[in-house]
Structure formats: structure tokens, C-alpha cells
Structure 1
Amino acid sequence: MPPETDTDTGTAAGRRPGRGKVSPQPDGFYAPPAADGPSGPVVEFFGEDGRRAVYSFEQLPCPGLHAVLAAAWAQRVGPAGGLRTRGAADGSWSGVVRLLRWLGELGRPPRTLGALTLSHLRRYDQHRRMTTQGPAVVQEMHQVRALLKEVEPPEVLRPPVREYLEQPARLYDRWHVEQERPQVPGYSDREFAAIMAAARGDVAAIRRRHRAARDLVERFRAAPEGLDEPVRSRAAALARTLETGEVPLVHTTLAGGGRVADMRAWREAAGEVFLTTQDIVPLLVLGVGLSGRNTETLKELSCQHRFLEGRAVAVNLLKRRRGKSRSRETIHWETGTDGSRLRTPGGWFLLLHELAAAGRVFSGSRRVWSIWAAHHPAGPSEGLAARRAAHGHIDPFENRLGRQLDLFKWAARHGLTADDPADGNGGGAAGGARPLVLTLGRLKKTVEVRTARAVGGHLPSASRTNTPNVSFLHYLRSDPRIRDWAEQVLTEALEDAEGSVRAFRGRVLAGSAAEEAEHDPQAAAAALGTTPGTLAAARAGDLDTLMAACLDFEHSPHSGGGPCDVSFLTCLRCPNALVAEHHLPALFALLNQLQADLDARDVDDWVGRHGVTWLIVTRLILPKFTAAQRELARARAPQSLPTDFLDGFKEPS
């Protein structure tokens, strides 16, 4: 029997290397082996997301291709391969299966991989296009090409096939580009408000029933004699359920005297103290609407977190498609007060953590999610044995992220309706007859648009969850409420200014940096390239100019190294500048004044004067602060700034 392995370190239990010692390494290069099964090779997969899978070539046609393809597949899903999550591996594997089955249906299928021709691949491409949308075929063929590139030795493949694999992928993506489907805009303000109200109402109901059940159990444990008999019996049953995790099966009596399991009543009984399958949709909808994060990111949330001074929560996020070096980040979400927890992303997380806590005791989930999902013991169901062992408690996203969510049924149950497509302003539904089509991707897009509008302008740079290019191309560009402004001003008039924005060298004291300055001024000052005394003076406002703090007024890079004598607007481009939360009101006043100046000038003239400043504030400064900080600062923004501020101060006449 192999030694027990620690899932965090990968070392054998009891054999952890000490600090400063090198972990034991196997000799040579590692690659997951393609083991032989009863009817063909199998490859085991261990994903970076903690999910496992076994991919078997058994029962697939063209057995002469299996051994070489299995070795190539092992490289694709190995530590150096490009498929590092269960979802990515499953998606690519489905393409491999379809290709082999199609080859097996040919009159003369290839007996070895050397018999695979370029004609085979081109015919398969055309076959898939006849039944599948072009973008999906492009992605599938990309995965097929990536697999064949891993074949060793490459000489196994025919020269025309090898040449095909070496050609730039963009030559084969042209069809996808030409046939790109138009992007769907985000929801209108009315639609978004209705979606969030429905989700918030459902989540509030979940919270009420859980807290009511726990309060009853606490009263029972403290003084059972003070409860009436029916209430005491119910409280005792709830206490046993919380202690054991077992939800007794509920039966109903038939007219003839027989008894059958009442599945609905069983789920309702479990839902008094545990989350159930029906609770996932409203919780996810509310989470996406409050945080603006991808659904897959919210599904991967760890239960580990830090509560910061009763105002924010530090949460670890796993962001797909960013690459291994940037796939994880810690974000700080404001929590609000207890009465506003359902209106802040941090409050949503803390509530989800609370609601799933009882279930995590039995499911052992490392993520924040845990639901009760037991089925009737007599009915066959995938994973039934595992659910029985945990009394029905599971991490709903443990095996895969793509759990089926019936968003349409949830939206219909709440009577959500879509706006009249002719009503670009979202003025109301067309007779209330057209049901709303709810997708979480479109909901995220709506949050991106609302965030862009909230930070002083319709700029894709306002996005805090994507790069500016991704935010603009996939979330903002197609929205009718910002398209005209964004396309005309951002992509044309501000194009030249963006190069200067990238040279921004100022410092922003927000998020984790502000927290560090509070608890470890020495480390924070070192990270900012200044001294603890200077940092303390800047935080106290003693070094303030008009909209930033100047960390070295006597040595300005804009004044030949001497005392600074340039306009306050230059502060935002100066490496001596430090922007903290108390500067935000002045920055919003600046944006208001810049907007007023835009109304009085030609766009090109305005961009030449103030485009860089506008982009620095909206792209690089405001998004670093939380929504709560920005809203408070907006309310405190002064009505005006000093005279002639925009053009700089002038010498007295």
C-alpha cells in the first residue's frame, strides 16, 4: 500500500522536509503515466483546482492510435501541460472522443497514427461545422492540434500533418473572426433591480429560516422545560440533525393506508438548517450582482478568510485564464453593517459562510460552499455512496464547476420580465409578457457597465475584475448605454493619451497597502519607497497638495530637482505623489470639473489638455478603492476647485 500523502505538500505523511531543506524529488522528468486498462490505456488527472479524473481509451474505436494518443494526452494534462483544471480537461477530452468516433465510422479508418492524413483532419473540421457553431469548432480543432503537437516522436505523424500543426493558429481562426456573433448588452437598470430584489429576497428568506431554527435549538439546549411539547419535540429533532448531519426521511400516508417518501417535505426539512440545491441559484445571482465576479470564481471561493476591523473581509480568489502566476489573488470586500449585509460583496460572503457552516462539518468542503443533496436511498444516482457516507452533504462544485443551474425556472418563478427591445432606456416591460432570459455572464456584464458609470465616466478602465481591453471588448463595447461614448471618445480621441497613462508612477494607498500602513508602517513605507515618518505625515494630511500628498516637495522631477513649482494637475503624473482615501473627494470634484470643461470644448482639444489626467484618475486610482469608499467620497466632494485650476496657476500681473 502506498504511503499516506498530504494533499497540501504532496509528501508522504510523517516525512515533511524541515524549513530550508529540499523536498525529495523523483529522478528524471515526471509525466503522468498512461496505464493499461482491460481494453485500452487510461490516464489519471490531478488538477490544480483539486479535482481528479480518469480518462480511458477503453471502448473507443481505432485501437491502433490509443497508445500514442494516450501518451500525448498524459503530457497535455501533466504538470507542464496546458490543461490544469477539471473543466478544461473535460472540454478538451470530449473533442478527442468525438474525433476517434468519427474516424472509426469511416470506411477505412486509420489503423495507426501514421495513417492519419491531413485530409482526415480537414474533413473532420468540415463535418463538425455542419452541426456545430463555428467558434466552438475553432476551439475544438485548437485542442486537437495541441494534442497532436505532443506526439512523440513527431516523425510518427505524416509531414503534411506536421506542417499543418506548425502553421499559425490565426490562419484557421479567420472563420471565427468573420462569423463572430454580436455581443448581448447588459440588463437595463430596471431589469437589474428586479433581478437583485428577487435574489436578495430569497437569500433573506434562507437566512431567516436558518437563524430561526438555530435560535430554537439554543433555547432547547438552554431550557428545554420552558418549551411546549410540540415545540420541544421539533427543537429536539433539529438539534439531532445539526449534531449528526442526518435528515430523517419524511413519509406521507396514502389514502389506502400505505406510506411513501415525501421528497419535497424531506428537502424542506433539510433546508431548515442546511443549504440545499434550490438555494444555490439565488446565492450565486446575488453574489455576481454584488461583486461583479465571474460565476466560476465565486464557486471556487475558499472558506478561509480574514475579517478586517469589522468593515471588510479578505477573501482568496481563484481567477481562471490568467495563467498560473496570476491565477490567485486576495481581494478585500466591504461588509457593511449587519442591516446592509445583503447589499455588499463582503456581507454576502460572510452570510454564505454562515449558512453553509453546518453542512461543511459533514461534507469536509474546503470551499465556502456546502449543500445537502441526498436522494431517496432506493433510487440510483451518481455519487450516492459518497453522499450516504457524508449523510447527504457535499461540496456542489467539488467534481466540476459546470453544475446544472435552472436559472430560467428561477426567473420565471419570480415573474421577471424583459424590457421592450425598442426601449433603449429600460423604461419598462412590454406588457409584462416577455420572460427575462437570465444568464450570469450577462449579469456580470451589467455590473461592469454600472461600475464604469460609477467611477466618473464610461471607461473600460473602471473594471476591477478584468484587464481594460477585456472589459471593453467583452463587457462595455456592446452595451447601448455606453457604446457611443466609449467608441468615439475612448478608442479614438483618447488613443494617444493612453501611452502617457502607462507611464504613471504615482502611488496609491488603498486596499491591502492601506491595511499594512495601519498595522506595519515600517513595511508599508519600505514598499512605497519612503520613510515611516513621511508616510505618517502623508496619512495625516500634513503633506497634502490639492488632490494628493507630496512625499518630496523639495526635489521635484518636474522642476530640475529643486522645489516643485508646477501645476497641481501634474501631481497625478509625479512619482512623488501618494493618493490616499482622504483625497478622493477632491478627485471626484476634479472629475466633475473636467466633465464641465468637456461640455465647453471640442473633444480633441479636451483630450489634449486633460485626457491623461482623466484616464489616470478613472483607470489607475479610483478602481483601487472599494465601492463604499467611492460613494462616500462622491457625497463629500466639494462643489468647486480653485479658480483657473484646470489650466494651472498663473503669475500675478
Structure 2
Amino acid sequence: MAAPTGTWRTVATARHNWGVWRDFILFLAELPVPPVRPDALTVEHVKAYHAYRQSRSSEAYAWKDRQCVGVLLRSGEMKRLVPADVLAFARARGVGQVPVPKSGYSDGELHRLVTAARSDVVAIRNRFAKSCVLIEKFREAPGQLDEPDRRAASLLVEIAATGEAPRIVPKDRRELMSKQFVVLPDLVPLLVLMVAVTGLNVESVKELPAAHRILGDRAVEVEVLKRRRGSGRWHTTVTWEVGQPGRELHTPGGLYLLLHRLMGPGRDCSQTESLWSIWRNPTGTRDGSRLASHVAPFATRLDSTFNNAKWTRRHGLLADQLSPPSDGDGVQSSAKELLLEFNRLKTSVDVRRTKSLGGYLPSAARTNTVPVLYRNYLRNDPYTRDWAEEIIAEAMVDAEQVAHVTARRETVGGKTSRRFTGTVIVGQDNHVATGTNAEGCVDATEAAWSACRNPARHPASEKPCTVSFIDCFSCENSVVSGHHLPQLIALSDDLANRRGMLSSDEWGHRYGSAWDAIHRDILPKFTPAEVGRARELAGESSLELVEEPWESP
């Protein structure tokens, strides 16, 4: 099939444009001095029409009608005759005319919508299955049925053969026909579940064809129509997974085949090529034949509206409460009803798929391009922003941890140290004990900012220690107690000052391990009060005394 190449996507669009053009021509004809030729048209004429539309409708509709006039003036030979300034003025967008996509539903709201739709589709499937079982029993052994079931089965057999409803009370007639055909109230849950499972927008779902190809009982191939792709690119072929038996409501191919089977009897009566076919109650129509009862609901227009609020209200679906549940007087506030909007549902499905793929847009853009997915569905969605901020925060924490580990990979005596391996003595403000360890104290020798258990034997080299005092924080011989806190805080302040004197890489190479040991392994072991008292006693850090002169910044 050749793809359409025009820009009018539906019959409704063509009718709307034709009405605006007719209105524009009639408006010009009623002017005191109407333009008689296209080249006599001026910007003032278009401005006057825009003001006229503003007086009769909203500002948004007035701008849309003005742009529709621009479509007329740019069509065919007209664009060669109309002045360029008129074309530019009619084409310009108004302030606020760029549409802002609506945000999607929260995870909880989306779950409630999909669960309600899936429960209704299960009920529809069971309704049809129960009818088939009743008809089969009636044909095999009608005597085994009681009188009400036998009468109902007799009517169902007649309905299945003719497709026409018996002449009974309209309400009972719709209930009876719903056992054999899909009816109007069934459309809302079917559309919700199809959008949620396939990821298509509702317009594409409404235009799904009945023609398909099954690929080895594993997948189904369907031609999808999406008008927003531009001229010549409306048609595309998708391959949907069918899934295992019993999982039809969770896979796009399985759900498509289920709907194809449910609406098969209706399509036989309506003779439509669309997937969708419903039975409508012919009450109030002159013709009660099957052509008036069985229709393709989206054959003439895609913007057919349904009672979405009635469906959500029947299921008791409520929106998430973003504010506290009670007002200032302590009175419990009532939750708002959850409004069903298919554009928001489509956004929610795209957001959920993007999250499941870790935010990788090339894989998440299944029915749209990456720019369209981001601009129209993800960018203005608050739940996507919250999720992205959480991902960024987690990434920053991971990056900080990696930076800490990297900064502390200092080679000391031929051994790579990644953490503070010394000892921290908490609760002792006196000096570290020296000499004999008779009372269980730690024997050590004082160093610059800590004490050393055995300066004559480095743990890595087993030789006398020759490393800088700044590397003591990476040595397991190092011992820190409470009386070292003022020196450590002074060293920390000195290291912080040198951060502005050196590049990040050089500072991290020189002091990163010591800084990390002080702030992540030593200071957290002491109470805030102990650290506060030590800060009052902090003096000079003597950092310059332990570095070689040529190493000073």
C-alpha cells in the first residue's frame, strides 16, 4: 500500500480546515472594501480576522484559525500570488502556542489504571467464554439446561447466526448482545490496556487493522499507522511477542490476538477492515438492521470521546495525594478522582520503559525518535525528573566513593594502601603510652600527627621506616588518640587551604589519602564535643616541616 503524502491526517481535520477557510472568505466578503484578488490581501486583513475570531472564541482557537488560514494561503498557486509579509504573519505562532506536553501518572496511579483495565478485559474474556460454553451445551444436550439458561442459549444461537438483536427491552438487549459482541462500555478498558501494553498512542491503537501475520506462534506482525511521522512515513510494520498461553493480557501480540478474536463476530457483521468493531443499541435510529448496529467506532473520526470518568469512578480510582491528608483544622480531606487521559497514559508507559532500560534513550525510543521521546514525553514529566535526580545523586555518591578510593591509592614502602589501617583510641585524652604495655595500653612513639608502634620495622618493607609523616595515615603501625585531635584538625585546615593552591589531580595525589583518612576514618570515631574542644586548641599543623622544600606549593 502506498503511504499517504498529504498533511491532512483525518477527515475531521479536513472538515475543520474547510470550515475555517469558508469562514475567512465570508469575513473578507463582508468588509467595506474586500480584496478582490490574492495579491490585494494585506496583513491588516488577517489581523482583522484574528480579532474577529478572538471575539467569538478563545485566544488559543483564534491563533489556530489564523494558522489554518496560513495553510490555505501557502497551498498551490496561492503562495505565488499572496504577498510574502502576509504569508509570514499568518504562519507565525502566538505566545504560548507551543504545546506543553502533560506529565504522566505516578507509578501508583499507572498501576491502578492498568490493573483496573486488565480486570475488565478478563471479565470480557470470561463473559465470551461463558457464552460459548452455554451455546455448546445447548447444541449438544439442551435438555440438561434449566429453562432460563435454555431460553438464553436459544437467543444466543439466533444472535450468532444473524447478528441481529431480538426485539426486547433495550437494556436487556444490550446485556444479551454483550455476551456475543463487544459493546461500547468495553472500549475504555480495551484501549487503556492496549496503550499500556503496546506503548502506542491511542490514535495508532484505534487505527489498528484486522489484517495480520502470525510468525510461528511466537509473534504477530501488524502494520501500524502513525500519522505524526510526517508525509510518506505513516505506515510501519511492528512485530509483537505473543507470549505463553495464559499471558495474553501482558504481551502486545497476545492482547492483539485476543481482541481480534473477541471482535471477530462483530467484524463479520460490519464488514470492516479495522480491528475494532462493536455492537451499539439501535434505539433511536430508523434502521435497526445489522449495518446500523455493528459499526467500526473509529472509522469516521479518531477523536470519539467516551465516558472515561464513569469508568474510573466505577473502579474507585483515586489520584495520589501530594499534600497532607488533612487540612489545618484537622478535618480529613477527600482524595481527588483519578482522571483518565490517554496522552498522560502514553507518557507514563514511555517513562516506565525508559526507567527499566536505565535511561538509555536509543533503546527506550520504541515508537518515537529519541528527540521526540525526550521533548514530548520525558522532559516535562515530574516523575521522570525525580527519578533522574535520584539517579544523578546515586551516581555522584558512587563517583565520590571512587574518588576517595582513587585518592588513597598511595604507594607506601612498595605496598598500595586503600584505607586507614592504623588504630584509633577513643576516650583517651592523654598521650599514647610508651614503654611496657603492662595495663593493656598501646605502646607507641610519637610522630607528627599520630604515634607509631614500631618505627624500626615498617609493615610493608620490614625495614626501618623512611616514608614521610603524611603517609603515616596509610600505615597499620599508626595510632591516633584523643590528644592528637588538635594537630589533626590543624592539618585538615592546612590541607583545605592548599586545595586552592594546587590542581585537583596534584592535590589528590599529595594529600588525598591523608584527607580521606582524617575525615572518613578518624574524626567520625570521636564525638562532636571532643572534636569541638580539639578545634579550640588547634594550632599550626607543621605541614611544611615534614615536606621537602622543593615539594612545597
> TM-score, normalised to structure 1's length?
0.55
* Cα distance in structure 2, aligned partners of 1:598 and 1:305: 50
Amino acid corresponding to residue 414 of structure 1 in structure 2: H
Distance 1:454 1:354, change over 3 A: same
Amino acid corresponding to residue 242 of structure 1 in structure 2: A
Asked if 1 retains the 8 angstrom alpha-carbon contact of 2:354 and 2:361, the reply is yes
TM alignment of 1:633-644, pairs within 5 A: none
Aligned to 1:149: 74
Deviation at 1:109, TM superposition (A): 5.4
* Cα distance in structure 1, aligned partners of 2:220 and 2:50: 49
Distance 1:470 1:600, change over 3 A: farther
For residue 322 of structure 2, the aligned residue among 407, 421, 424 is: 421
Aligned to 1:83: 8
Aligned to 1:524: none
Over the aligned positions, Cα root-mean-square deviation in angstroms equals 3.3
Aligned: 1:397 with 2:298: yes
Asked if 1 retains the 8 angstrom alpha-carbon contact of 2:248 and 2:255, the reply is yes
Q: CA-to-partner distance for each residue in 1:488-529, whole Å, 9 max, x for gaps?
A: 999xxxxxxxxxxxxxxxxxxxxxxxxxxxxxxxxxxxxxxx
Aligned: 1:246 with 2:164: yes
The alignment partner of 1:365 has SS state of: coil
Aligned: 1:185 with 2:99: no
Amino acid corresponding to residue 83 of structure 2 in structure 1: R
TM alignment of 1:438-517, pairs within 5 A: 438-457=340-359, 459=361, 462-483=364-385
Aligned to 2:127: 209
Aligned: 1:291 with 2:211: no
For residue 163 of structure 1, the aligned residue among 68, 72, 84 is: 84
Amino acid corresponding to residue 253 of structure 2 in structure 1: G
TM alignment of 1:237-636, pairs within 5 A: 237-251=155-169, 263-376=170-283, 379-380=284-285, 385=287, 388=289, 390=291, 392-422=293-323, 431-457=333-359, 459=361, 462-483=364-385, 600=401
Distance 1:267 1:113, change over 3 A: farther
The alignment partner of 1:325 has SS state of: coil
Distance 1:372 1:598, change over 3 A: farther
Aligned to 2:478: none
* Cα distance in structure 1, aligned partners of 2:190 and 2:236: 22
Aligned to 1:567: none
Distance 1:117 1:416, change over 3 A: same
Distance 1:489 1:595, change over 3 A: closer
Aligned to 1:227: 145
Asked if 1 retains the 8 angstrom alpha-carbon contact of 2:54 and 2:62, the reply is yes
Deviation at 1:443, TM superposition (A): 0.4
Aligned to 1:510: none
Deviation at 1:461, TM superposition (A): 5.6
The alignment partner of 2:232 has SS state of: helix
Asked if 2 retains the 8 angstrom alpha-carbon contact of 1:317 and 1:328, the reply is yes
Q: CA-to-partner distance for each residue in 1:120-167, whole Å, 9 max, x for gaps?
A: 211212333456555544443232122122364667x5xxx4223553
Amino acid corresponding to residue 268 of structure 1 in structure 2: E
Distance 1:599 1:374, change over 3 A: farther
* Cα distance in structure 2, aligned partners of 1:168 and 1:598: 52
Distance 1:473 1:132, change over 3 A: farther
> TM-score, normalised to structure 2's length?
0.64
Asked if 2 retains the 8 angstrom alpha-carbon contact of 1:249 and 1:266, the reply is yes
Distance 1:272 1:107, change over 3 A: farther
Amino acid corresponding to residue 137 of structure 2 in structure 1: R
Amino acid corresponding to residue 418 of structure 1 in structure 2: A
The alignment partner of 2:213 has SS state of: strand
Aligned: 1:195 with 2:113: yes
The alignment partner of 1:326 has SS state of: coil
Asked if 2 retains the 8 angstrom alpha-carbon contact of 1:453 and 1:459, the reply is no
* Cα distance in structure 1, aligned partners of 2:268 and 2:78: 50
The alignment partner of 1:121 has SS state of: helix
Q: Give the structure, 1 or 2, with the largest relative contact order (CA under 8 Å, sep 6 or more).
A: 2
Aligned to 1:533: none
The alignment partner of 2:150 has SS state of: helix
* Cα distance in structure 1, aligned partners of 2:369 and 2:248: 28
Deviation at 1:202, TM superposition (A): 1.3
Distance 1:332 1:152, change over 3 A: closer
Amino acid corresponding to residue 82 of structure 1 in structure 2: T
The alignment partner of 1:390 has SS state of: helix
The alignment partner of 1:374 has SS state of: coil
The alignment partner of 2:336 has SS state of: coil
For residue 127 of structure 1, the aligned residue among 52, 68, 82 is: 52
Distance 1:168 1:116, change over 3 A: closer
Larger Rg: 2
The alignment partner of 2:105 has SS state of: coil
Distance 1:267 1:114, change over 3 A: farther
* Cα distance in structure 1, aligned partners of 2:154 and 2:69: 58
The alignment partner of 1:307 has SS state of: strand
Aligned to 1:548: none
Deviation at 1:320, TM superposition (A): 1.0
The alignment partner of 2:298 has SS state of: coil
The alignment partner of 2:236 has SS state of: strand
Distance 1:181 1:87, change over 3 A: closer
* Cα distance in structure 1, aligned partners of 2:400 and 2:156: 64
TM alignment of 1:3-152, pairs within 5 A: 81-103=6-28, 106=31, 116-129=41-54, 132=57, 136-150=61-75, 152=77
Asked if 2 retains the 8 angstrom alpha-carbon contact of 1:374 and 1:393, the reply is no
Once the two structures are overlaid, the 10-residue window that deviates more, 79-88 or 471-480, is 79-88
Distance 1:489 1:124, change over 3 A: farther
Distance 1:224 1:323, change over 3 A: same
Could you tell me which runs of 5 or more consecutive residues in structure 2 were left unpaired when the two chains were aligned: 325-331, 407-553
Distance 1:485 1:300, change over 3 A: same
Deviation at 1:486, TM superposition (A): 5.4
* Cα distance in structure 2, aligned partners of 1:230 and 1:464: 51
The alignment partner of 2:267 has SS state of: helix
* Cα distance in structure 2, aligned partners of 1:309 and 1:348: 17
Asked if 1 retains the 8 angstrom alpha-carbon contact of 2:183 and 2:278, the reply is yes
Deviation at 1:118, TM superposition (A): 2.9
